[in-house]
Amino acid sequence: MFTGIITDLGRVRAVEQPPEGAPEDARFVFATSYDTATIPAGASIACSGACLTVVSTGADDFSVDVSAETLSKTTLGGWRVGTLVNLERALRLGDELGGHIVSGHIDGVARVVERQPEGGSLRFVFEAPAELARFIAPKGSIALDGASLTVNEVSGARFGVNIIPHTAEVTTFGGLEPGDAVNLEIDTLARYVARLAEAEWTIRQA
C-alpha cells in the first residue's frame, strides 16, 4: 500500500528483457536517490503509480520486471531510457498517511487535455476512460502517476486538478503537456461506494 506522496523523481536508466522472461516482458532499471542498501529484493515500489517488485539493486539504482499485461494497460509500455518516473516506497506501519490509500493497481490511462497557469499553480484538465468517469467526484481523491490529488471539478469524463509549485518541481507534473498520458487509479472508497450503490439498485429491482 502507498499514500500517493511522491518521495523521489527517478529516471529510466535501462530497458532490457528479463532473464528467461517472455519476449513481451521488460526489465526496467531506475536511477534513484533512495538509499538502495535499504531496499531488499522483493520490496514494492510504486513507479508512476504502478506497484512493482524490486528484483535487484545497484549503488544508485534498482531493477523491476514488468509483464506484457502491465506494459499494455499502463504508460509503462512507452517508457524509454531517460523517462522520468514518480517513485514512492511502500507504506510502513507508523508512517504518516499524507495523501490517501493507494494500492498501486492502475485502473486505466488518462490524458492531459489542458494545462494552464493559475496563480502560482498549474491547472490541468484530464480525460479519463469513459468506464472510470463515474468513480471520479468533485473534492474526491485520485492518484495520477502515483500522486495523490484532489479533484476540483468534473464534467463528463473530464476532471480538473491543481498542481502546486512544489509538486510540479519534484514530480513529473512539471513536464506534462496536452496529449500526454498518465496512469490513473481511482479511489478505493469510490469503488466500493459505487459497488454498494449498484447492489442496492439490483435489490430494489428484484
Helix (H) / strand (E) containing 73: helix 68-73
CB 170 within 8 A of CB 6: yes
**Which one, of 132, 131, 151, lies nearest residue 140 by Cα?**
151
Check whether residue 190 and residue 112 sit in a common domain.
yes
Q: With beta carbons less than 8 A apart as the criterion, state whether 1 and 101 touch.
A: yes
State pLDDT tens for residues 129-175.
Answer: 999 998 999 999 999 999 999 999 999 999 999 999 999 999 999 99
List the domain range (segments joined by +) for residue 117.
Answer: 108-197
- Lowest-confidence region among 6-20, 53-67, 151-165, 183-197: 183-197
- The answer to whether 106 and 74 are in contact (CB under 8 A) is yes
How far is CA 154 from each of CA 76, 146, 148, rounded to the nearest angstrom? 26, 20, 17
| Residue 25 domain-assigned (yes or no) | yes
Q: Single out the residue in 56, 89, 122 at which a domain terminates.
A: 89
Say if residue 112 is in the same domain as residue 183.
Answer: yes
* pLDDT value for 22: 79
Are 113 and 84 part of one and the same domain?
no
206 falls within a domain: no
19 burial level (CB within 10 Å; 0-12, 13-18, 19+): exposed
Specify if 3 maps to a domain: no
For residue 98, the 8-state DSSP code is: -
pTM: 0.90
Predicted confidence (pLDDT) at residue 45 exceeds the cutoff of 70: yes
Residue 47 covered by a domain: yes
136 inside domain? yes
Instruction: Please report, rounded to a whole number, the percentage of residues in the chain having pLDDT higher than 70.
Output: 89
Considering the domain architecture, whether residues 113 and 162 belong to the same structural domain is answered as yes
Residue 117 sits in a domain whose CATH number is 2.40.30.20
